[in-house]
Amino acid sequence: MNSKPDVQKNLDFLQREFNALARYENHLVVLPECFAFFGGRDISQASIKENYLDGPIQSFLAEQARLHNIWIVAGSMPVAIEQNERFHAACLVFAPDGSCKTQYNKIHLFDVEVSDSTGTYKESATTMAGNQVVVIDTPFAKLGLAICYDLRFPELFRQMQALDADIICVPSAFTQVTGEAHWQVLLQARAIENQCFIVAANQSGTHENGRETWGHSMVVDPWGNIISQQNVQIGTLSCEINLDKITQIRHKMPNLLHRKLK
Ligand SMILES: O=C(O)CNC(=O)[C@H](CS)NC(=O)CCC(=O)C(=O)O
């Protein structure tokens, strides 16, 4: 996506993409970080925060999940915390019956100096870090959840691996500069070392406040092969995931069994 600071525009875009999806029995759709609001010049994400299980964005997602019979890993959106001005950058997961199954709160916040037009990123100014590793069960796979900057912390992925994650979803808004340098390598490394699938949906292009994101959404298999990938264009990337590959690759390369340090 190239999300705007206009919720309705972003949801309209998603609506069109959802309408165009093929129907499958087990269909997982992963949205990028900040899918509903990104790149505001004068307004911030805080203006669209919702209480958990309440609010128009979550209603939209629940309805779309039902209508299209899909699982939605809803990138991230600001979810309110009681008696706290800051919010969680939360990844909510919706089942095809419209129920919300979990809330993963981004653990590692991007307080980093980047040599781009934004310069200083200070996510912790508005966001409260989470502290729970989340792997959820679905009828077709166990899904691990990580958001953007979390990708740089292999110990988080190892913990998801220990909880038997088959597919780790990484909704992101990786910057142009750091994305060009590290995005693909990090995704492949996390897939190879944990021998699982990685589905990474990234924001792409120039946003209203001048911020640039790297795009290049991709799906990586447990051998590190990129099985589907996008360049900088927006739109839906689709592929089939065969979980048997996990067993085959773990058999062929038993590095997870050979660990000495825990
Ligand atoms: O603040 C917002 O509006 C939305 N949130 C984001 O864009 C977040 C925090 S600033 N971006 C990242 O985590 C980029 C990480 C990254 O690019 C890297 O690890 O290199």
In the reported structure, the alpha carbon of residue 32 is separated from the centroid of ligand 1 by a whole-number distance in angstroms of 11
Token digits for 129? Answer: 């870090």
Q: What is the pLDDT along the chain (262 residues), one digit of tens a residue?
A: 999 999 999 999 999 999 999 999 999 999 999 999 999 998 999 999 999 999 999 999 999 999 999 999 999 999 999 999 999 999 999 999 999 999 999 999 999 999 999 999 999 999 999 999 999 999 999 999 999 999 999 999 999 999 999 999 999 999 999 999 999 999 999 999 999 999 999 999 999 999 999 999 999 999 999 999 999 999 999 999 999 999 999 999 999 999 999 8
Q: How far apart are CA 146 and CA 109, in angstroms?
A: 12
Taking CA atoms only, the protein residue closest to ligand 1 atom 15 is 149
Task: Select from 3.40.50.150, 3.40.50.10470, 3.60.110.10, 3.20.10.10 the CATH code of 7-252.
Answer: 3.60.110.10
Q: How far apart are CA 193 and CA 63, in angstroms?
A: 37
Q: How far apart are CA 250 and CA 7, in angstroms?
A: 42
Task: Catalytic residue, from 148, 169, 212, 245: name it.
Answer: 148
Of 118, 158, 163, nearest to 143 (Cα)?
A: 163
In the reported structure, the alpha carbon of residue 35 is separated from the centroid of ligand 1 by a whole-number distance in angstroms of 13
Classify residue 23 by its DSSP letter. P
Taking CA atoms only, the protein residue closest to ligand 1 atom 14 is 174
Q: Which ligand 1 atom lies nearest to the CA of residue 126?
A: 1
Annotation marks residue 148 as catalytic: yes
Please state the ipTM of this predicted complex: 0.91
In the reported structure, the alpha carbon of residue 121 is separated from the centroid of ligand 1 by a whole-number distance in angstroms of 7
Of 13, 115, 105, 26, nearest to 60 (Cα)?
A: 13
Annotation marks residue 50 as catalytic: no
Is the distance from CB of 68 to CB of 38 less than 8 angstroms? no
Token digits for 19? Answer: 């309408």
Full-prediction pTM beyond 0.95?
yes
196 CB neighbour count, 10 Å cutoff: 27
154 three-class SS: helix
